[in-house]
Amino acid sequence: MPAAILPADRPDSIAAAAAALRAGQLVAFPTETVYGLGADASSDTAVAAIYGAKGRPSHNPLIVHLPDAGAAARYGSFDPRAEQLARAFWPGPLTLVVPRVAGAALSGVVSAGLPTVALRVPSHPVALALLQAAGIPLAAPSANVSGCVSATTAGHVAEALGEKVAVILDGGPAQVGIESTIVGLDGARPRLLRPGGVPREAIERLIGPLDDPAAGIVAAPGMLASHYAPHCPVRLEVTAPRPDEALLAFGPVVPPGAKVTLNLSPRGDLAEAATNLYAHLRSLDRADIAGIAVMPIPAHGLGHAINDRLRRAAAPRDA
Ligand code: TXA
Ligand code: MG
């Protein structure tokens, strides 16, 4: 049965979505980063339904969403660095990977059998209202088919997963537009497992340098080479697009010649570019173009995360 798309600004929508979650069903909801595909993180069968709906490999663990840091501390153990980051950036686009608390009431499937758990307190008012109303921790990956472009609107979710979820809460377009930054705090030194909505520089100002996962090792199991991929091939660092290409532009000076052009931020603002990234990739991903050409994006602040996603969108694909 296709999902009910409910306007998130109505209290009865939140109540209906919370009831569906408590009954073990899937609910897509807005967060400030991207839309999430939520389920009861304490239930093996509810969590398994997420993997089934997304076609996600079972070795790739999920982020558990909570309404506040106090709730998060029931599931993960926070050292002083983790506490500092939680105080500074929660609620917000930061995920902390910490040791799982022994006996935590969480499905083992959520962390794919790992001794750690990824925790996040989102800042979107709808996500927080839903977490409070449901009263359970919510496992929620991005609400897209595994490997494809993430969803930043309720419409994107309906297109890809509409038949597989009970409710889609429509809270308008996601503001940050790119997934949370993931920091690993389960070892001696903190690691940047995924660049995202909180710039690396802001985290390093607080807790010092972050290690990068060693080359060749997939630190966050979801960070495989090809990911976030549209159907069309993607070409990076393009300054001269071809006539059969779609151009994903950035900044005020746009080279001519592409069949169609969308600009991530005509004024060259990286936050605006992140907000538009996935929606523009989806719009340019059309049958009548040979590929998507992407202009160079500056590699600082949110540019790290944008470039990370674009490299994965352009990576060779298995099939
Ligand atoms: O912004 C976000 O983080 C969004 C919204 C919905 O909150 N969620 C999201 O989830 O991006 P997902 O499943 O698309 O990406 C989660 C990433 C994956 O790369 C996964 O491998 C990693 O988090 N992850 C989860 N648990 C982990 C763990 N225990 N250790 C290392 N990486 C983990
Ligand atoms: Mg994802």
> Does any domain span residue 219?
no
Ligand 1 atom closest to Cα of residue 63: 25
Q: Ligand 1 pocket, 63 CB below 6 A? A: yes
Please tell me the total count of domains within the chain.
2
> Does any domain span residue 147?
yes
In the numeric block, the tokens 């799982």 are attached to 100
- Give the helix ranges, DSSP H, for 73-199: 80-89, 125-134, 154-161
Q: How many CB atoms lie within 10 A of CB 4?
A: 16
| Crossing angle of helices 11-22 and 125-134, rounded to 10° | 50
Please tell me the predicted confidence (pLDDT) of residue 225. 73
Facing residues of 5 across strands? Answer: 168
The DSSP output letter for 319 is -
Cα of 76 to ligand 2 centre, how many Å? 21
Cα of 255 to ligand 2 centre, how many Å? 31
Ligand 1 atom closest to Cα of residue 221: 21
CATH number at residue 252: 3.40.50.11030
Look over the chain and give the mean of its residue pLDDT values, rounded to a whole number: 95
Among 172, 190, 207, identify where a domain stops: 207
Ligand 1 atom closest to Cα of residue 56: 13
* CA–CA gap between residue 27 and residue 50 (Å, rounded): 10
Cα of 261 to ligand 1 centre, how many Å? 31
**Domain shared by 180 and 255, yes or no:** no
**Domain shared by 119 and 177, yes or no:** yes
> Does any domain span residue 115?
yes
Torsion sign (Cα): 230, 235, 237, 240: negative
**Domain shared by 182 and 243, yes or no:** no
For residue 92, give both structure tokens.
């917000």
Written in H, E and C, the secondary structure of 251-275 is CCCCCCCCCEEEECCCCCCHHHHHH
The DSSP output letter for 108 is G
**Domain shared by 293 and 180, yes or no:** no
Cα of 212 to ligand 2 centre, how many Å? 20
**Domain shared by 61 and 145, yes or no:** yes
> Does any domain span residue 319?
no
Q: Ligand 1 pocket, 120 CB below 6 A? A: yes
Cβ–Cβ under 8 Å, residues 154 and 5: yes
Q: How many CB atoms lie within 10 A of CB 242?
A: 15
> Does any domain span residue 213?
no
* CA–CA gap between residue 183 and residue 96 (Å, rounded): 5
Facing residues of 7 across strands? Answer: 170
Q: Which amino acid is it at 63? A: I
**Domain shared by 112 and 201, yes or no:** yes
- pTM, 2 dp: 0.95
Cα of 243 to ligand 2 centre, how many Å? 32
The DSSP output letter for 201 is H
**Closest ligand to Cα 181:** 1
Ligand 1 atom closest to Cα of residue 182: 23
Q: Give the domain range for residue 194.
A: 4-207
**Closest ligand to Cα 175:** 1
**Domain shared by 201 and 238, yes or no:** no
**Domain shared by 294 and 252, yes or no:** yes
> Does any domain span residue 98?
yes
C-alpha 240: how far from its chain's center? 31
Going by C-alpha positions, the residue among 161, 198, 163, 155 that lies closest to residue 178 is 198
Cα of 309 to ligand 1 centre, how many Å? 14
> Does any domain span residue 178?
yes
> Does any domain span residue 151?
yes
| Mean pLDDT per 10-residue interval, the chain, length 319 residues | 87 97 98 98 98 94 98 97 98 98 95 96 98 98 95 96 96 98 95 97 97 66 75 97 98 98 98 98 95 97 97 84
**Domain shared by 291 and 195, yes or no:** no
**Domain shared by 43 and 89, yes or no:** yes
**Domain shared by 95 and 28, yes or no:** yes
Pocket of ligand 1, candidates 75, 95, 218: which has the most ligand atoms within 8 Å of its Cβ, to mutate? Answer: 95
Q: Ligand 1 pocket, 38 CB below 6 A? A: no
Among 169, 191, 207, identify where a domain stops: 207
**Domain shared by 158 and 51, yes or no:** yes
CATH number at residue 129: 3.90.870.10
In the numeric block, the tokens 């690993």 are attached to 184
Write out pLDDT tens, residues 267-309: 999 999 999 999 999 999 998 999 999 999 999 999 999 999 9
**Closest ligand to Cα 220:** 1
The DSSP output letter for 68 is S
